[in-house]
């Protein structure tokens, strides 16, 4: 029982992905997603220089020991690069363990706690007409829950809006945007909080009026508000019964959510940029959020995110795993296996990958009537076609950044 080969595969079919492939002495292979949007090369170097040499000859069955070895043995702890690298190793080892056992990973985690995973997609529009078309498009695709993002009058380009410039290269999905834009430097976007706070409640009033009260609607403030502004937004959206309001305020200061919580009953989701349980400790213990947004890919893998969610379950907090196109099909499969097994599953973000991505990664999950299921192939159920992957070399791409009208850098 030993890992004999570890490869870091970088491919860019529709966007950049970093995948770790482990092979054992018995020829069993496992895949792990290590994609960190806009910082992929940092994780590639961390894996190739500081992890791969340590994996060779390790016993692939010892997942927890390997996790602790890579976490504690590095001396320098946590952070997005380290925890994405550890996540890839952890996920690949769970993939191998499932294949050796002849079981899908969710069976190793305690079996299914539900028939399928409620998913949400990203509707967006620069104006109400475009937004309504996007909502209809997502309902036609079968989504039962829909995130709503909108342009703001007076702002040229902001987060989350599929426009001609940001729509994905292959236009495979009309309205999904790919925030990371290929090029040597990040793109600058603009922002004005007061315009946004004046505009958004009216958008949700229009969406509810057009589509009714039933559909779970979500919205992402993408870290842009001060706590009191977040409190105001949460309260102003209460008549529209959101499923959740995401990343209302930068949450490094976990206490800041106390003020938001005092003013609004709109459910809160936080954590897609978190990478360990320590980022959540206070906001879970004080029940300052309702959903944990982390992806398996960015939070130390299946082993660590399960620990975070088991801690959250004690406080009636549910999962809302991050699932944009920059979580690869391997990371999505890991999320689905974990989400299917835990009791406190909430919802799974699901932005469909492009056609070229689906050629590189052969997946076995199902998408039916608004629900996802990881499938029952042993392991994660994903294969990577190395030849196909080789057709798409890495292309530098950055997430945008933000400035206010006076030129001050703001949170993107």
Q: Where along the sequence are the contacts to ligand GCO (CB under 6 A)? A: 37, 179, 220, 222, 272, 322, 324, 326, 349, 399
- Judged by beta carbon, residue 244 or residue 345, the one nearer ligand GCO is 244
- Judged by beta carbon, residue 74 or residue 399, the one nearer Mg ion is 399
- Is 159 tagged catalytic? yes
Rounded to a whole number of angstroms, the minimum distance from the CB of residue 47 to ligand GCO is 19
- Is 75 tagged catalytic? no
Tell me which of Mg ion, ligand GCO, none is bound by residue 326, counting a contact when its beta carbon lies within the kind-specific cut-off of 5 to 8 angstroms. ligand GCO
Of 46, 159, 196, 392, the active-site residue reads: 159
Rounded to a whole number of angstroms, the minimum distance from the CB of residue 326 to ligand GCO is 4
- Judged by beta carbon, residue 223 or residue 353, the one nearer Mg ion is 223
- Judged by beta carbon, residue 42 or residue 54, the one nearer ligand GCO is 42
The single residue listed with the structure tokens 């890579």 is 70
Rounded to a whole number of angstroms, the minimum distance from the CB of residue 213 to ligand GCO is 24
- Judged by beta carbon, residue 104 or residue 160, the one nearer Mg ion is 160
- Judged by beta carbon, residue 93 or residue 135, the one nearer ligand GCO is 135
Residue 39 tokens, joined: 């910082």
Of 122, 219, 222, 353, the active-site residue reads: 222
Rounded to a whole number of angstroms, the minimum distance from the CB of residue 147 to Mg ion is 9
Rounded to a whole number of angstroms, the minimum distance from the CB of residue 285 to ligand GCO is 24
Q: Are strands 291-292 and 268-270 parallel, antiparallel or unpaired?
A: parallel
Q: Is 95 in the site for Mg ion (CB under 5 A)?
A: no
Rounded to a whole number of angstroms, the minimum distance from the CB of residue 122 to ligand GCO is 7
Candidate list 176, 220, 229, 349; residue touching Mg ion; CB under 5 A:
220
Binding mask 263-302 for Mg ion (x = CB under 5 A): ---------x------------------------------
Using CB under 5 A, list all residues that contact Mg ion.
220, 272
Active centre residues (catalytic) = 159, 222
């Amino acid at each position: 029982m030993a890992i004999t080969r570890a490869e870091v595969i970088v491919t860019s079919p529709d966007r950049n992905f970093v995948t770790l492939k482990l092979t054992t002495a018995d020829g069993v292979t496992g895949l792990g997603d290590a994609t960190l949007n806009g910082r992929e090369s940092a994780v590639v170097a961390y894996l190739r220089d500081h992890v791969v040499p340590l994996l060779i000859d390790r016993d692939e069955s010892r997942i927890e020991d390997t996790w602790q070895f890579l976490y504690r043995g590095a001396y320098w702890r946590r952070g997005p690069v380290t925890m994405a690298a550890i996540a890839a190793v952890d996920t690949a080892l769970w993939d191998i363990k499932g294949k050796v056992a002849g079981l899908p990973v969710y069976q190793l985690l305690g079996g299914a706690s539900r028939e399928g995973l409620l998913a949400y997609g990203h509707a967006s529009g620069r104006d109400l007409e475009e937004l309504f078309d996007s909502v209809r498009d997502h309902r036609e695709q079968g989504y039962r829950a829909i995130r709503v993002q909108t342009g703001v009058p007076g702002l040229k380009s902001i987060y989350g809006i599929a426009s001609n410039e940001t729509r994905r290269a292959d236009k495979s999905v009309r309205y999904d945007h790919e925030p990371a834009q290929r090029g040597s430097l990040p793109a600058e976007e603009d922002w004005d909080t007061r315009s946004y706070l004046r505009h958004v409640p009216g958008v949700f009033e229009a969406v509810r009026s057009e589509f009714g009260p039933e559909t779970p609607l979500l919205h992402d403030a993408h870290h842009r508000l001060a706590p009191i502004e977040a409190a105001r937004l949460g309260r102003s959206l209460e008549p529209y019964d959101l499923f959740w309001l995401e990343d209302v305020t930068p949450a490094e200061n976990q206490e800041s959510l106390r003020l938001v919580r005092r003013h609004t009953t709109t459910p809160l989701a936080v954590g897609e940029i978190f990478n360990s349980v320590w980022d959540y400790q206070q906001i879970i213990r004080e029940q300052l959020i309702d959903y944990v947004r982390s992806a398996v890919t960015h939070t130390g893998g299946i082993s660590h995110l399960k620990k975070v969610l088991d801690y959250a379950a004690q406080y009636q907090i549910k999962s809302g795993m991050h699932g944009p196109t920059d979580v690869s099909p391997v990371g999505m499969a890991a999320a689905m296996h974990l989400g299917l097994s835990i009791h406190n599953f909430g919802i799974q973000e699901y932005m469909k990958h492009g056609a070229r991505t689906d050629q590189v990664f052969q997946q076995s999950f199902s998408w039916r009537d608004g629900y996802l299921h990881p499938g029952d192939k042993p392991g994660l159920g994903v294969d990577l076609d190395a030849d196909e992957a080789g057709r798409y070399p890495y292309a530098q791409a950055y997430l945008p950044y933000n400035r206010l009208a006076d030129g001050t850098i703001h949170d993107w």
